[in-house]
Structure 1
């Protein structure tokens, strides 16, 4: 009888130890659609390394670059469902899930500065925005976004040195209804297109360029190799990269594990912002070195387009399902900056 009790105790101890190891050992998958070496991938790698260090190797993150696992739209759906653990996505793309993430793309941000954008997203309005995303099943770790870069209306195969010259052209845009609506209001045929399809569509002539993206989009993807040869540099709104965690996956982890993942991003975001800012500062030069010609519209031309687009901003907000009250409070904060 005593032997049986000792045997049962031993088995129980072994099972408890196995359960403890199981609870501590976690394998997570992180998907991004950008190629290795892109700032988003470098930030993902640094986040994953820091998670491993803080957890003593008990949490391992495997990174799948270049859309190997999911394209951007599918990655967002997978995060919300719990099929994917982690990702870093661009705000326009995420706006398909949470429309209010397009707020910094709206016409009121035409010509805005990086400091203006940080003033919104690093404060209470940013916290409110991340909470909206969390209500849809995706969490943003402490520290929030990085690499905000000014969007330019167009990067094209053929020259375009004015807003009028862009009218009627077919440009691929991030898969955001708000971005497409803005392009269409500018008399440009905006077509929401996954990043993984851009090169093929450019080389096959299905699109004439890209709209509402950044210098880093072009330099990071070496898109001059796919035919991009001209840029219209007008700072037409902004986009950011946002680190993401599946709420369903995080809720299945221990408090300690969740804290490690959160802390790891807090230790990564400063580096990501600094690195991306430095890279952005050189992106135009890199593009020009590879044959891209820039057209710089006058301040008056940009201001005129901003005023024209502000006249339809409320309609875009309404049609896209954005929260008009939230947008109004962002506008008020932006005006007071």
Structure 2
């Protein structure tokens, strides 16, 4: 009996010792409000695995999905306060803290392609913006933003073929003053609604249209909520900026800080291509489920762009964006 107790105790000790040996030395928690199938969630799990491998298991990234912790509209504040270690909100959701964060929603970005946008975001202008975010929120920006993709306008009952078709519609927007102003200029009624609340808003008629992406609509199966039509006019690209609480970052040894930053940078370009592929696949899937997508003519896009640009000076002043930042931004995109 004594021998059996000894063997049992020894076995338990081995199990506990093995578990302790396998446990990571450091853990970082991440909040996402999108579903597990969403492009951001899927890629972040690959990133977390790469961090685990490169750190030899010393650094673990724990992901909380589907707003289990915070909605993206709350995420930046949560990171700043230290309630969560990492978040990846859209730029425009940080604009209430740093007005310049609304830059991708400005009229000057209407209709631009990926390469033109990356030239600004990945260069001096992006570094300037990230420094402003870090100073204001006392966080660290891990690196270049990752993509969701170009925004697409969807509707439950009005077929969208040109930007003019948006006049009079109640449109869900994710937030950000510039996005709100854009739809007001288009003659729409913008309504800010967090992503997890969108299906109910569509079903109850709170909104009949929404600005999202093909990927987001597909991952949430919004055809079940009545979405039937879509229009891709490249109003703006949706990007996620990676924020980590400064204290959480400082607690990591220097070698793990390097692993975190270098791995992020190494994987960004691949993520952006992955996101573009997922958007096209999502458009195909949405089509199979009855959502008809149109592509406006170049003439229609130019006409709307000019209309929007007329309102930009007043918008920049209203938002309190630094004029020097706008000058750098215009030069970066060649506009």
Whether TM-score is above 0.5 comes out as yes
Mapped partners of 1:321, 1:280: distance in 2: 33
1:271 aligns with 2:281: no
1:89 counterpart SS class: coil
- The number of aligned residues is 311
Contact 1:34 1:67 in 2 (8 A): yes
- Indicate conservation of the 8 Å contact 1:141/1:244, yes or no: yes
Contact 1:96 1:175 in 2 (8 A): no
Shift in Å, 1:148: 5.5
* Counterpart Cα distance in 2 of 1:132 and 1:300: 37
Q: 1:46 touches 1:268 (CA, 8 Å); kept in 2? A: no
Deviations 1:181-227 (A, max 9, x none): 2111211111111111111111121111202x322222232221211
Q: CA deviation at 1:41?
A: 0.2
1:9 maps to none
TM superposition shift of 1:138? 2.7
1:13 paired residue number = none
Once residues 49 and 267 of structure 1 are traced to their aligned partners in structure 2, the CA distance between those partners, rounded to angstroms, is: 14
| Matching of residue 233 in structure 1 with residue 232 in structure 2 | yes
Measure the CA separation in 2 of the matches of 1:48 and 1:190: 36
Please list the CA deviations of residues 71-92 of structure 1 after superposition, one character each: whole Å capped at 9, or x if unmatched: 1122111111111111222222
1:61 is the counterpart of 2:35: no
Which ranges in structure 2 are unaligned for 5 or more consecutive residues? 1-20
CA distance in 2, matches of 1:233, 1:278: 15
Say which SS state the counterpart of residue 285 (structure 2) adopts.
helix
Whether contact under 8 Å (1:43, 1:268) holds in the other structure is: no
Note the C-alpha offset of 1:312: 0.5
Identify the residue that residue 78 of structure 2 maps to in structure 1.
78
SS of residue paired to 2:70:
coil
SS of the equivalent of 1:108 reads: helix
Whole-angstrom CA distance in 1 between matches of 2:206 and 2:66:
21
Residue 87 of structure 2 is matched in structure 1 by 87
State the match for 2:140 in structure 1: 139
Partner of 2:205: 205
1:259 aligns with 2:226: no
Task: Please report the TM-score for the alignment, with normalisation by the length of structure 2.
Answer: 0.87
Q: Secondary structure at the match of 1:172?
A: strand
Q: Deviations over 1:266-314 (max 9, x none)?
A: 2332331221122123232222111111233221111111101101011
Give 1:13-92 correspondences, 5 Å limit.
25-92=25-92
**Deviation string, structure 1 residues 112-166 (Cα, Å, up to 9, x no partner):** 1111011111111111111111112232223x112252223x2110123333332
Structure 1 unaligned regions, length at least 5: 1-20
